[in-house]
Chains A and B, each alone.
Chain A
Amino acid sequence: MTTLVSLPVLLPLLAAALSLVARRSPAAQRLLGVLVLTAIAAVAAVLLVHVDEQGPVVLQLGGHAPPFGITLIADRLSALLLLVSAVVTLAVLIFSIGQRIVDYGRGTTSTAFLPMYLVLCAGVSMAYLTGDLFNLFVAFEIMLSASYVLITRRSNAPRVRAGMTYVIVSLTSSLLFLTMVALVYAATGTVNMADLAVRVAELPEGVKTVLGLLVVVVFGIKAALVPLHFWLPDSYPTAPAPITAVFAGLLTKVGVYALIRTQALVFDHDASWTLLLVVAVLTMIVGVLGAIAQNDINRLMSFLLVSHIGYMLFGLALFTVIGLTGVILYVVHHIIVQAALFLVSGVVTRHTGTVSLRDMSGVAKAYPLVAVLFAVPALSLAGIPPFSGFVAKIALLRAGAEVATPTAYLVTAGAVLTSLLTLYAVAKIWVGSFWGRECPPHPDPDPTDEVTVGTGATSRPMLLATGGLVVAGVAVAVLAGPLSAISERAANDLLDGGAYREAVLGQGGDR
């Protein structure tokens, strides 16, 4: 079982190398990618079941004694997120394969996409599984450097400009991360997170606060909290649809995961944290207002993404079991729904040839299926009752009402308001692109350019992948009972921290 923990990191890295070797045969590359991601999903599912029954699984790399070597650990939270991420990356891969099948003959079959995509998956898995602060930095770098290549691949002028912003902002936050690691090491003499949990508690209050704040800034840039969100709506929409989908679904959520893990495990809070509550409500409101002001469908959804990061912060800032349960549910729901929405947007913009909501109309008539595929995740994002967003939101609102401080009430009210405004924002997309009379597609400005695909057919794998994600989103709502139960157990683990510490430090040394 312990070797299983290393597979989600090792498999995609090896497959990335193999697919570079097999670059002359795109079919083999594709097959390899699909197989590996399916395998990761299977491994994650097995891990989740095992971990839920028998507690965390720990792997000490190289057999070093616990606080010195690198630790990989799968507990309920990381196994759950690993499973969801694997499903989303698989769906996005199938979508991009589908797009490539249609675009074949445009001279766009690229051999660099798949290796980079697999490296990105390896980085994401490693970030979930690592139990070591410095290894978390390495995981972020693996993930980000792959994302740099994906976002600037086949670059034209606007993409280089947007990519530049993205790379510089991410690099700066990475260097701050490194600074934080150095400070933590100087203060405590360890970077093992389970060990840190004990040592940080012994630090003077001032040092603890500085370190905690630096952690919030570092992961805040990656997760796009409001004063630090400016880079996201500028860079994400310039990438091709599948890449935007995986960035929006996963990369920011990995930042949120790191924030949850460090704050809950290392910087333990007894009561709700007012500063993070204020940031949460700002993130929600500013994000959704920004979204309403947009005309570009992808920019609109990028702002919505920022806005909904606020919900996750809200639950985290409360530091109660029910709040953290809500966060975990929300992260699971949001990864799936946001990726599905960006994939639908990819299909819509291919059909209409434009991303401007004013210039498109009548997609529902031409493509009734796509309209349904948009409506389900959009309503889910807004938190309309039968869908997955409602389950997660109601947990968060309950958590806010239970804490019952004036700030918590204020943020709860902000969350309700944001929910309504989100409905307005997705209705804006609906009215702009799906309703109205059918209009002819806009002409393709540059037929050789993969990104500015003006118009193109939608292949079956693309619809299949999008539909699969939408079904996964519905499944989250259907399975709300068991999912809430496991989220609650994961939240208990997080707040308690004892099982995690014991798994890493107690018995893991001689493996």
Chain B
Amino acid sequence: MTINLTMAVILAALYTAGFYLIMQRSLMRVIIGIVLLGHGANLFLQVAGGPPGVPPFIGMAGLDEMSDPLPQAMALTAIVITFGLLTFLLALAYRSWVLLGHDEVRDDLEDRRIAEAVAEAQEMSAAAETTEAEDPEDAADHEGTSETGESGNEGDTGPGVRR
């Protein structure tokens, strides 16, 4: 099957822009990215059906001149599905904005825990450097307290940790 070059370029642009926007931190951009990707996929289904032709009714034209109805039916179904899910996503984004007051996608739980652990380790090594000259036992003591402190705080680090 040969494919229209213009269509190929448009598809490439839609997919590129869509994936680029999904990588962003702002929720609104992510949603627009999903919209572009959805358009890309639906257009792709259309293009997969070959070049446009006569409407596929029996007796209107020869078999070779008719366009293929199957991908059109599929694209129609897919458009309805993507449209429905998009409205749900918009409602969810609005809910998230009402509840959280911003539309930024946050780091996930593990990322935040790693970041906290790194910050803590740096703090500890800095503290150890200053206290080492005075009293090595003191530094060990400090380590012990900060560890228990961390486990006590963990309930507040994010969702799902404590119900």
Show the binding face of A for B, using Cβ within 8 Å: 68, 134, 137-138, 141, 145, 148-149, 152, 155-165, 167-168, 171-172, 174-175, 178-179, 181-183, 185-186, 191, 230, 234, 237-238, 295-296, 298-299, 349, 353-356, 358-359, 445, 451-454
The CB with the most chain B CB atoms within 10 A, among A137, A148, A172, is that of: A172
Q: How far is the CA of A395 from the CA of B158 in the complex (A)?
A: 41
A182 and B47 in contact (CB under 8 A), knowing A138-B81, A165-B108?
Answer: yes
In the complex, given contacts A164-B92, A178-B78, what are 17 additional A-B residue pairs having Cβ atoms less than 8 angstroms apart? A152-B92, A157-B100, A157-B159, A158-B160, A160-B92, A160-B99, A161-B96, A164-B93, A167-B92, A175-B41, A183-B48, A185-B70, A230-B108, A234-B160, A237-B160, A298-B160, A454-B163
Cβ 8 A contact of B47, one of A181, A186, A356 = A186
Q: How far is the CA of A141 from the CA of B81 in the complex (A)?
A: 8
Cross-chain contact A451 with B163 (CB below 8 angstroms)? yes
User: Contact residue range for chain B?
Assistant: 35 or more
Cβ 8 A contact of B34, one of A68, A168, A179 = A168
Which residues of A lie under 8 Å from residue B154 when comparing CB positions?
295, 356
A363 CB, min distance to chain B CBs, angstroms: 16
Give the 3 A-B residue pairs with the shortest CB-CB distance, closest first.
A158-B159, A186-B48, A178-B41
Cross-chain contact A358 with B151 (CB below 8 angstroms)? yes
A176 CB, min distance to chain B CBs, angstroms: 8
Q: How far is the CA of A451 from the CA of B160 in the complex (A)?
A: 10
Cβ 8 A contact of B161, one of A163, A178, A296 = A296
Q: How far is the CA of A183 from the CA of B47 in the complex (A)?
A: 10
Cross-chain contact B44 with A354 (CB below 8 angstroms)? no
In this assembly, does B13 line the interface, its C-beta being within 8 Å of a C-beta of chain A? no
Cross-chain contact A238 with B77 (CB below 8 angstroms)? no
- Chain B residues 1-60 with CB under 8 Å of chain A are 1, 3, 18, 22, 27, 30, 34, 37-38, 40-42, 44-45, 47-49
A260 CB, min distance to chain B CBs, angstroms: 24
Q: How far is the CA of A354 from the CA of B154 in the complex (A)?
A: 13
Which residues of B lie under 8 Å from residue A356 when comparing CB positions?
154-155, 161-162
Q: How far is the CA of A168 from the CA of B26 in the complex (A)?
A: 13
Cross-chain contact A179 with B109 (CB below 8 angstroms)? no
Which residues of B lie under 8 Å from residue A156 when comparing CB positions?
99
Which residues of B lie under 8 Å from residue A299 when comparing CB positions?
109, 160-161
Q: How far is the CA of A68 from the CA of B56 in the complex (A)?
A: 14
A161 and B100 in contact (CB under 8 A), knowing A171-B89, A178-B45?
Answer: yes
A344 CB, min distance to chain B CBs, angstroms: 16
Cross-chain contact B74 with A68 (CB below 8 angstroms)? no
B63 CB, min distance to chain A CBs, angstroms: 14
Which residues of B lie under 8 Å from residue A141 when comparing CB positions?
81, 85
Cross-chain contact B71 with A185 (CB below 8 angstroms)? yes
B87 CB, min distance to chain A CBs, angstroms: 11
Cross-chain contact B74 with A134 (CB below 8 angstroms)? yes
Cβ 8 A contact of B159, one of A145, A149, A159, A186 = A159
Which residues of A lie under 8 Å from residue B40 when comparing CB positions?
175, 179
Cβ 8 A contact of B163, one of A178, A183, A354 = A354
B85 CB, min distance to chain A CBs, angstroms: 6
Which residues of B lie under 8 Å from residue A162 when comparing CB positions?
159-160
Which residues of B lie under 8 Å from residue A178 when comparing CB positions?
41-42, 44-45, 78
A291 CB, min distance to chain B CBs, angstroms: 12
A175 and B34 in contact (CB under 8 A), knowing A148-B88, A299-B160?
Answer: yes
Which residues of B lie under 8 Å from residue A159 when comparing CB positions?
159
A-B contact pairs, 24 of them (CB 8 A): A141-B81, A141-B85, A157-B100, A157-B159, A158-B159, A160-B96, A161-B100, A162-B160, A164-B96, A165-B105, A172-B37, A175-B40, A175-B82, A178-B44, A179-B40, A182-B44, A182-B45, A182-B71, A185-B74, A186-B3, A354-B163, A355-B160, A358-B151, A454-B163
